[in-house]
Amino acid sequence: MSINKYLVQSFVNDLLEGSPEDKLFYQNRIIDLLGGDSTLNVNNLPPRRGRADED
């Protein structure tokens, strides 16, 4: 088995066996490494009510 295949297999096993916190860390790290934005998107918020929400 090549070293690259071993490293990938080891990484995948760590992901599968990790805690939810570990998985979230890896998720955000992978997104950052690929140049993405790891900020969570929030959906289904109520509509803004005007200037009172801007504080």
| 2-52 pLDDT, tens digit each | 888 998 899 889 888 999 999 889 888 989 999 988 787 788 888 877 776
50 is a domain residue: no
9 is a domain residue: yes
Q: Say what the pLDDT of residue 54 is.
A: 66
53 pLDDT higher than 80: no
Identify the sign of the CA torsion 31, 33, 36, 42. positive
13 is a domain residue: yes
44 is a domain residue: no
Identify the sign of the CA torsion 39, 45, 47, 50. negative
The domain in which residue 5 lies consists of 1-35
51 is a domain residue: no
47 is a domain residue: no
The pTM for the full model equals 0.51
Number of domains the chain is built from: 1
Q: Say what the pLDDT of residue 45 is.
A: 81
